[in-house]
Structure 1
Amino acid sequence: MRRLILALLLLASPAVAQPPPDTLSAVRSRGTLACGVSTGVAGLSQADSQGNWRGLDADFCRAVAAAVLGDPNKVRFVPTTPQTRFTALQSGEVDVLSRNTTWTFARDVGIGLTFAGVLLHDGQGFIVRRDSGVANARGLDGATICLQPGSTTELNLADWGRANNIRFTPLLIESFQEVQAAYFSGRCDTYTTDLSGLTSIRAGQGARSNEHVILPDVISREPLGPLVRKGDPRWLDIIRWTLNALIAAEENGVTQANAEARARDPNPEVQRLLGTAGEFGQQLGLEPAWALRAIRAVGNYGEVWERNQAPLGVQRGPNRLAAQGGLMWSPPFR
């Protein structure tokens, strides 16, 4: 009876409030930024033969490390799959997730995480062998389709099939490398993922890349961006405004090479961006030159794109600056 009463009292007791996360202090104490990336997608996040991570997502991790720690090399890249990525962030294994993840309502509201912005505007498509004779997605009726589980890709494909009365057999494979191998070995008729991923794997075929065609159909919009845990507004601001700083730098002609000199620019917006005017660094809990450090480390958004996406033949399209007809723009630094 005594044990029963004790158990009832414990159940009735109010839960002990957990302290809110303080990711900035944890990163500074540790001396490194733990950044969740993919297991290997060329142009986004992939380790080269020397183990150095390259890509749009990887460079964003470096920009954050430069802004927070003053050194873009103080990053520990943590590979995650579509199945493990959110748990890695929720549990604190990583400080930020930057690995081609689509911003959706459910992810932004329902799992204790929040998006800091859009790093890449993408969309889902299909790749087929050129000799298949398939000219568009409607020709995939009855096809076996390779894809990864636990992502918006799976949900988008199901919605598209129902909406267009197209039957297909899904072949779900968790590993990005293994699902590629399944497609190229002929286990499925097509592979579906974001266009950036399709372009990446097609380019990886080298001289045989022309044997494969990316179909013209785009069945979804995929705003990909970095995520952080909810309840840490200062860390969210740091991640969001580091992304904005890279975009604002391109808008204002600030580059990796000229950033140091442009800190003395007469343009007030550039001065605020690079820390020679205003107190934006102080408000973030960072040094005044936090954005200057990020830009010096990886360049502006356009430079990051040219280094990582352009070599794969990816067109900027909606990832152009708004002034050029695209969707990329930064709120003002003021």
Structure 2
Amino acid sequence: MTPYPDTATPPARAGQRAGRAACLFAASFIVACLLATCLLALAAPARAEGLLGEIKARGYLNCGSSPGVAGFGVPDAKGEWRGLDIDFCRALASAIFDDPGKVRFVPLAAPARFTALQSGEIDVLARNTTWTLARDTSAKLNFPAINFYDGQGFLVRKDRGIAHVEGLDRATICLQQGTTTELNLADWFRTHGLAYKVVAFATAEETGRAYDSGRCDAYSTDKSSLYGERLKMAEPDAHTVLPETISKEPFSPVVRQGDDQWRDIVAWTHYAMLDAEEAGIGQGNVEAMRREALSPDIRRILGLEGKYGEALGLTNDWAYRIIRHVGNYGEVYARNLGADTPLKIPRGLNALWNQGGLQYGPPIR
């Protein structure tokens, strides 16, 4: 057998060295993977917190609101903000901080609302804003949940004798810029072969004053807003809202795209208020229900079973906080828009699904 030269390595020894090298490489790879996993685990909570973490660190929520829409967002005589959208932001603050007062309201005219949200000036926009495909996509916004179903209508003077929208052929119509109102008008009047003229204004206040002064034959906007605008007229009883609704206006709070956790928190704040109403839990009985609840559904809503709050990045009693401080959806609706308010807007489509409406809260489970 011919011996291997001294400068050569026998096959067995070469295999051993190759094996050791492979083992070292594998060990290094495993260590690198473990290190990467640890780094990801450390980074994950910071990313998961996202905007929620910023809000907690800041100590309050920035909520974009209407500068003045009765029933939705308007300061009262003492400067205290009131309205359905205002209460929604207070519900968010309650879920996060257990304090409905930890929210700052930023009143925004319609043309400025999306810019304020996109720039980060506000954390959430709660301002009777219609969910449309264009806003959902090109504006890079998310609409987490419909908190009010509305539609566009018309306010007219009773002495004009106009009983239906068809009577507005060749009419001059006042409306606010930066809303879906103008496109809805164009679509409806073109479809019905009617002529009209638009007079547009920057704010709802300017629009209402122009209509009241006689500059136009009708005032067109969302019907819920028209009930409030009518109360501002010099002679409210001299005006009426026509019966027709010419569009679908699903109102939703709005958030920026790219933060799924924050979108979920905003959506489930609304759903929790609906689920609470359906379960019969309100401000007046929430403490008793929490002490005595046997129903699994109620116990989950109130944070007595499961870890559903933790899944949102909140405490498990997040929904209980909302109900205790703000109330369920029915209570908020009654307080701001219902029969005992000047607006007296019927629940209609905004009743719960099991009471003939469209409001439906997915289950907390």
Pairwise same-fold verdict (TM > 0.5): yes
Matched, 1:149 2:212: no
Q: State the shift of 1:260 in Å.
A: 2.0
On the 8 A contact 2:177/2:203 being kept in 1, the answer is: no
Matched, 1:176 2:204: yes
**Cα distance, 1:182–1:82 mapped onto 2, change above 3 Å:** same
CA distance in 2, matches of 1:328, 1:57: 16
Tell me what 2:360 maps to.
329
CA distance in 1, matches of 2:55, 2:287: 26
Q: State the shift of 1:261 in Å.
A: 2.0
Q: 2:309 aligns with which of 258, 266, 281?
A: 281
On the 8 A contact 2:129/2:252 being kept in 1, the answer is: yes
Matched, 1:162 2:198: no
CA distance in 2, matches of 1:48, 1:316: 23
CA distance in 2, matches of 1:92, 1:132: 46
Tell me what 1:16 maps to.
none
Output the TM-score relative to the length of structure 2: 0.84
Structure 1: runs of 5 or more not aligned:
1-18
| Residue type at the aligned position of 1:181 | R
Q: State the shift of 1:203 in Å.
A: 2.9
Matched, 1:253 2:280: yes
The structure that has the greater radius of gyration is: 2
On the 8 A contact 1:125/1:219 being kept in 2, the answer is: yes
| Residue type at the aligned position of 2:207 | V
CA distance in 1, matches of 2:351, 2:232: 25
On the 8 A contact 1:119/1:225 being kept in 2, the answer is: yes
Q: 2:133 aligns with which of 94, 105, 111?
A: 105
On the 8 A contact 2:49/2:261 being kept in 1, the answer is: no
Q: 1:199 aligns with which of 227, 239, 243?
A: 227
Tell me what 2:347 maps to.
316
Tell me what 1:28 maps to.
56
CA distance in 2, matches of 1:276, 1:138: 56
| Residue type at the aligned position of 1:135 | A
Tell me what 1:241 maps to.
268
Structure 2: runs of 5 or more not aligned:
1-46
Q: State the shift of 1:133 in Å.
A: 1.1
CA distance in 1, matches of 2:48, 2:181: 33
Q: State the shift of 1:252 in Å.
A: 0.3
On the 8 A contact 1:143/1:169 being kept in 2, the answer is: yes
Matched, 1:229 2:260: no
Tell me what 1:78 maps to.
106
Output the TM-score relative to the length of structure 1: 0.92
CA distance in 2, matches of 1:307, 1:184: 28
CA distance in 1, matches of 2:203, 2:137: 27
Higher relative contact order (CA 8 A, sep 6+): 1
CA distance in 1, matches of 2:76, 2:257: 33
Report the identity percentage: 51
Q: State the shift of 1:295 in Å.
A: 1.1
- Residue-by-residue CA offset, 1:161-199 (whole Å, 9 max, x unaligned): 111111111011011111111111111110000010001
Question: Which range moved further: 196-205 or 62-71?
Answer: 196-205
CA distance in 1, matches of 2:127, 2:103: 14
